[in-house]
């Protein structure tokens, strides 16, 4: 239980970079990535926000509407001004792609954007591969800086490679990027606070300087990151047998959630719901942005003892073969008279 260095476990960082940037990434070989172990995804975002404030004090961050509520707290406490950009389309319960592209185009050149790499929280709505390519191209034209929060790698499709596709597209297009990774969900290490912050730099020399500055920010904040969870991550990812078992289990878990989405949608349709529930299976990842109103959510809680956030976000991880029928009946009951 001795201390890790300020930047954390070298092994954990190495394995994290392979997951995000690709097993055989030239960028890793060329040592162009500055990376430190962070206190899960939140800690990685906060380190980056403080880094942004320190070296570009007049910059701001564009955050999608909606986003995980803690994103706002993180950049606010780092004293970085926030702007929002269009993301979710409430009517279709899908992506407002034209609104998103307009906001990217109208932002001042060289702006910072926070992007969810996959399994957008809270909506479960992700751009398609083709849309990501268009977004990346426009970022290039506008010289924007993309910062990816990748809290759910493996949790969306069941394949960590596929879930890193957005990042890989931006790398192919020659962007410098930032990336926050978390092992809370894909390894179940919520309480261990294991994550990684990486920033792709121009060359090895710049990467050394950036890493040094990230460590300077970490030192007075929490000194160094915890060791136990980092050992769990590095042991699993560096052992081919354990890693393939982990990949199999991640796929099993993601497939179960995808199956529960189908079951919930089919049960609602069977009940003769007048509403469209296509979005349940169109969305991806841990959450389903159901489109229910706060009043309908209150009825679910008070009458059926079903609990979710008041914005109608269902945690699909809590839906099982044992309760999906009950959940569908309750949702039907509170939405049928809409």
CB atoms within 10 A of CB 275: 15
CA distance 129 to 142: 20
Count of CB atoms situated within 10 Å of the CB of 146: 20
Per-residue pLDDT band at 264 (split at 50, 70, 90): very high
Mean predicted confidence (pLDDT) in 18-36? 97
68 is catalytic: yes
CA 184 to chain centre: 11
pTM of the entire structure? 0.94
Burial 178-187 (b: 16+ CB within 10 A, else e): bbbbbbbbbb
Query: Contact 192/226 with Cβ under 8 angstroms?
Result: yes
Dihedrals phi, psi of 153, to nearest 5 degrees: -60, 125
Average pLDDT for the chain: 96
Distance between CA atoms of residues 18 and 16, nearest Å: 5
83 DSSP β-pair partners: 62
Distances, alpha carbon 200 to alpha carbons 241, 247, 319, in Å? 30, 26, 38
> Is residue 149 annotated as a catalytic residue, yes or no?
yes
pLDDT digits (tens, 9 = 90+) for 173-209: 999 999 999 999 999 999 999 999 999 999 999 999 9
What average pLDDT does this structure show over 94-104? 97
Q: Are 177 and 140 in contact (CB under 8 A)?
A: no
Instruction: State the pLDDT at residue 79.
Output: 97
Given 96, 103, 126, 149, the catalytic residue: 149
First to last CA, the chain: 57
Does residue 222 register a pLDDT over 70? yes
Please give the share of the chain, as a percent, with pLDDT higher than 90: 96
Compute and round to an integer the Cα radius of gyration of the chain.
20
Mean pLDDT, residues 229-253:
97
pLDDT in tens, 132-168: 999 999 999 999 999 999 999 998 999 999 999 999 9
Cα angle 233, 236, 237 (rounded to 5 degrees) comes to 80
Asked whether the predicted pLDDT for residue 4 surpasses 60, the reply is: yes
Could you give the CA distance from residue 10 to residue 16 in angstroms, rounded to a whole number? 10
In which residue are the tokens 């920033």 written?
199
- Over residues 20-39, the mean pLDDT reads 97
pLDDT score at 336: 87
The reported pLDDT for the residue numbered 221 is 96
Exposure string for 164-176, b = 16+ CB within 10 A, e = fewer: bbbbbbbbeeebe
Candidate list 53, 68, 96, 265, residue with the active-site label: 68
Average pLDDT over residues 327-331: 96
The one catalytic residue in 185, 211, 265, 277 is 185
pLDDT in tens, 284-306: 998 999 999 999 999 999 999 99
DSSP category for residue 156: S
Determine if residue 91 is left, alpha or beta; phi over 0 gives left, psi from -120 to 50 gives alpha, anything else beta. Answer: alpha
Q: Output the pLDDT for position 245.
A: 98
- Residue 338 pLDDT > 70: no
Residue-level pLDDT at 304: 97
pLDDT at 337 over 90: no
């Amino acid at each position: 239980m001795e201390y890790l260095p300020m930047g954390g476990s070298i092994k954990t960082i190495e394995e994290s970079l392979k997951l995000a940037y690709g097993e055989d990434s030239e960028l890793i070989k060329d040592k162009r990535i500055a990376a430190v172990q962070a206190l899960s995804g939140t800690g990685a975002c906060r380190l980056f926000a403080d880094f942004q404030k320190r070296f570009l004090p007049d910059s701001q961050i564009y955050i999608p509407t909606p986003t995980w509520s803690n994103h706002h707290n993180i950049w606010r406490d780092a004293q970085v001004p926030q702007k929002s950009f269009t993301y979710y389309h409430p009517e279709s319960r899908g992506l407002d792609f034209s609104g998103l592209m307009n906001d990217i185009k109208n932002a001042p050149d060289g702006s910072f954007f926070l992007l969810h790499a996959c399994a957008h929280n809270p909506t479960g709505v992700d751009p398609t591969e083709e849309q990501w390519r268009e977004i990346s191209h426009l970022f290039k034209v506008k010289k924007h800086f993309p910062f990816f929060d990748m809290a759910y790698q493996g949790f969306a499709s069941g394949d960590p490679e596929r879930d890193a596709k957005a990042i890989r597209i931006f790398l192919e297009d020659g962007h410098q990027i930032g990336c926050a990774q978390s092992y809370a969900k894909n390894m179940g290490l919520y309480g261990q606070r294991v994550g990684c912050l990486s920033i792709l730099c121009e060359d090895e020399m710049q990467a050394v300087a950036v890493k040094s500055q990230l460590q300077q920010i970490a030192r007075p904040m929490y000194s160094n990151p915890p060791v136990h969870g980092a050992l769990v991550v590095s042991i699993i990812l560096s052992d081919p047998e354990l890693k393939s078992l982990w990949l199999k289990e991640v796929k099993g878990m993601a497939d179960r959630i995808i199956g529960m989405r189908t079951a919930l949608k089919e049960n609602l349709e069977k009940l003769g719901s007048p509403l469209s529930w296509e979005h349940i299976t169109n969305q991806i990842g841990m959450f389903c942005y159901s489109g229910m109103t706060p009043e309908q959510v209150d009825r679910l809680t008070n009458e059926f003892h079903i609990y979710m956030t008041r914005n109608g976000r269902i945690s699909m991880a809590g839906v099982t073969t044992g309760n999906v029928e009950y959940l569908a009946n309750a949702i039907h009951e509170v939405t049928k008279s809409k």
